[in-house]
Structure 1
Amino acid sequence: MKKLAYLILIFCTVTSFGQRYMDTNDPKDEEVKSLLSKKNDLNAFGALDLKIGDLMGERGMLVGAYGGFIINRRYLFGVAGYGLVTAIEFDGLVPGQTEPKQLNLHGGYGGILIGGTIAPRELIHISIPVVLGAGTMEVVDKDYFVNNPADSEFTIENSVFFVAEPGIEVEFNITKYFRLGAGMTYRYISGTELENVKDEDVSGTTAMISFRFGRF
């Protein structure tokens, strides 16, 4: 009986709130809210990122760009791409050899960008970008062909991978069309199929600086 009484009480409460909402919010008088509504403010933007973090125990720099649209000054939708621009050297094994030698890591990734901005009209505010996508990575031996100094490089192995990279930035409104941001991201990589590189070797935090241009 107690359970039945509780259910009746909950039903009556929900019904009461529902009726009150219907009385004060006539669906005929209000359009269904959506991100792509004609009433929303839609502006394009583009940005350049510099990221510094550890890969294979070495400090490396990633340079990239992203762009898309800002909806209602708060929501970010677009695409992004990043590439490793510094030499990452580590000791690894070449197939068929037993002695470790110095190898190099090359790679990059890209995908869709989603995110949001907290208090975008303030001079200093918070931006939360998230990149979801895929990338490619390769391990290179720069001295593989010792008898051909003009072109001695050889790709030992390569692989594609999945990447998810959430971040948080503190942004500054420099002008109406330019924002400068600084923050951190965490790069999560999964699915590498390499003998010399594991997922955890290339996953980790990065410090970043962002230069964003658009109509904000």
Structure 2
Amino acid sequence: MKLLSYLALIVLAFSSMSQKYIDTHDPDDEEIKSLLSKQNDLNAFGAGDLKVGDLMGERALLVGAYGGFIINRRYLFGVAGYGIVTNVEFDGLVQGQTEEKKLNLHGGYGGIIIGWTIAHKELVHLSIPIVLGAGSFEVDDKDFFVNNPADSEFTIENSVFFIAEPGIEAEFNITKYFRLGAGVTYRYISGTELANVKDEDVTGTTAMISFRFGRF
């Protein structure tokens, strides 16, 4: 009986609160709150990134860019793309051969980028970007055509993959239109179908420097 009495009191309390809300709020005078509405602040931005991490046990540099919109100076949404710009060399096998030789890994990835900025008005604040998308790797043999030294390189295998790359960075307000960030990301790659490259060989942490331009 006590439980029923408590439930009845709770229902009456919520009914009273709901009636007061209806009496004091005209639904026709209020706009449904949403992330993308006329009341929100929407600004475009562009950025460039330098990322350093390990691929196939070798230190590699990736260069990329991203751009999109900042909503209410806190929420980020856009597209991003990155590519390997250094020579990633490793020991692997060419199909049909039994001895390992030096091979090279090339590729990149891209997709959507979302993020959040914490305490954006402070001189130093936190930014949390997340890249979700896909990419492709190819494995090349630079000495495949031994009788043609002018063009001896040949792609022996390639594959697409899925990537999720969350990160965290400390961001500095250099000017009203320029921010400099430094932080780390975790590059998670899944779905590679290569004889010489496994997912764990290209998954790992990355140090990054970011240059972001826009109206902040």
Same fold (TM over 0.5): yes
What residue ranges of structure 1 are gaps of 5+ in the alignment? none
CA distance in 2, matches of 1:34, 1:214: 23
Q: Determine if the alignment matches structure 1 residue 196 to structure 2 residue 167.
A: no
How well do the aligned residues superpose, as a CA RMSD in angstroms?
A: 1.8
CA distance in 1, matches of 2:161, 2:21: 48
Residues 33 and 56 (structure 1), Cα distance of their counterparts in 2 relative to 1, 3 Å cut:
same
Once the two structures are TM-superposed, the CA of residue 7 in structure 1 deviates from its matched residue by 4.7
Name the structure 2 match of 1:122. 122
CA distance in 2, matches of 1:17, 1:99: 78
Query: Superposed, which structure 2 residues align to 1:135-146 within 5 Å?
Result: 135-146=135-146
CA distance in 2, matches of 1:13, 1:43: 43
Q: What fraction of aligned residue pairs are identical, expressed as a percent?
A: 81
Name the structure 2 match of 1:158. 158
Query: Superposed, which structure 2 residues align to 1:31-42 within 5 Å?
Result: 31-42=31-42
Q: Determine if the alignment matches structure 1 residue 87 to structure 2 residue 87.
A: yes
Once the two structures are TM-superposed, the CA of residue 3 in structure 1 deviates from its matched residue by 6.1
Q: Could you say what secondary structure the match of 2:200 adopts?
A: helix
Query: Superposed, which structure 2 residues align to 1:5-154 within 5 Å?
Result: 7-23=7-23, 25-154=25-154
CA distance in 2, matches of 1:24, 1:126: 40
- The one-letter code of the counterpart of 1:170 is A
Name the structure 2 match of 1:183. 183
- The one-letter code of the counterpart of 2:77 is F
Q: Can you list the C-alpha shifts for 1:14-58, whole angstroms capped at 9, x where unaligned?
A: 434434544555433321111221121111110000001111111
Which has the larger displacement, 167-176 or 31-40?
31-40
Q: Can you list the C-alpha shifts for 1:132-185, whole angstroms capped at 9, x where unaligned?
A: 111010111111111111111111100001111111111000011100000111
- The one-letter code of the counterpart of 2:158 is N
Once the two structures are TM-superposed, the CA of residue 8 in structure 1 deviates from its matched residue by 3.9
- The one-letter code of the counterpart of 1:150 is A
Residues 98 and 74 (structure 1), Cα distance of their counterparts in 2 relative to 1, 3 Å cut:
same
Once the two structures are TM-superposed, the CA of residue 102 in structure 1 deviates from its matched residue by 1.1
Q: Can you list the C-alpha shifts for 1:96-131, whole angstroms capped at 9, x where unaligned?
A: 011111111101000011111111111111111111
CA distance in 1, matches of 2:173, 2:25: 37
The ranges of structure 1 where at least 4 consecutive aligned residues each deviate by more than 2 angstroms after the TM superposition are: 1-30
Q: Could you say what secondary structure the match of 2:152 adopts?
A: coil
What residue ranges of structure 2 are gaps of 5+ in the alignment? none
CA distance in 1, matches of 2:25, 2:134: 44
- The one-letter code of the counterpart of 2:63 is V
CA distance in 2, matches of 1:75, 1:184: 19
Taking structure 1 as the reference length, the TM-score comes to: 0.93
CA distance in 2, matches of 1:150, 1:189: 35
Which has the larger displacement, 26-35 or 100-109?
26-35
Residues 18 and 196 (structure 1), Cα distance of their counterparts in 2 relative to 1, 3 Å cut:
farther
